[in-house]
Amino acid sequence: MSSVTKPFSLFMALAVGATLACTAQAAWWNPVSWFGKDRPKRVQTLVVTGNFIKSRILAELIQYETSQPILLLPSGNESDTMFFLASNKETFPVKEKDFARFVKYLQPKRVLFLGNETYAPERFKEELRDKIPLWSVSNDDWSQIAASVGEVLKLRHLGFDYLVLLNQLDAEGKLKPPNTEAVFGGYVADPSYWDPARAEQNE
């Protein structure tokens, strides 16, 4: 991937944020639908981080490169609601209390936590410890986190692209405090959100 090419215009739009309207319907779907054609059908890595601008930009850069899903933890503005961002841009809310059950339902090979206690609280890691392989990259400097993740995942331009995006946001005055909106504007709400009761029936 060449550094900061046309596809990354998506992330500039995402940083502004947009309101997500989620409506519940009774339909149920297969997680395979979260992946596009010719994309991996198994969740290799679930990226987990807080619903903040800096963390979300990095998570989406990783998703752009790997086609793996993201789970945004509450930033404090969304009450007890998390948001699942699938690689096909479908999005839906998940209650914080259902964190461990939802991750179990996804059956990822590993879970990648990004950020310090503010972004990825230890209590979420404890819920998964000894159940699923965990990888946690914690640093107060998000450029260092991006560089570390890029090195391990062999995403050569990740650290550089992340810095360029942050600089662009700074220059345009769009780097804002924790976003109060549900998810980025580039995502579409899947009305058939995850139902823990249905998931339990399928376990």
What does the pLDDT read at residue 178? 40
What does the pLDDT read at residue 183? 36
**Measured between alpha carbons, how far is 16 from 12 in angstroms, rounded to an integer?**
7
- Its pTM stands at 0.71
- What residues contact residue 76 under an 8 Å CB cut-off, 6+ apart? 178
**Domains delineated in the chain:** 43-177 (3.40.50)
Q: How many CB atoms lie within 10 A of CB 61?
A: 23
**Among the listed ranges 78-87, 126-135, 194-203, which one has the minimum average pLDDT value?**
194-203
Q: Is the pLDDT of residue 123 over 60?
A: yes
| Range from 40-54, 66-80, 140-154, 176-190 that averages highest in pLDDT | 140-154
**Among the listed ranges 10-24, 70-84, 134-148, which one has the minimum average pLDDT value?**
10-24
How far does the chain reach from its first CA to its final CA, in angstroms? 38
pLDDT tens-digit profile of 22-47?
322 322 334 444 444 555 567 999 99
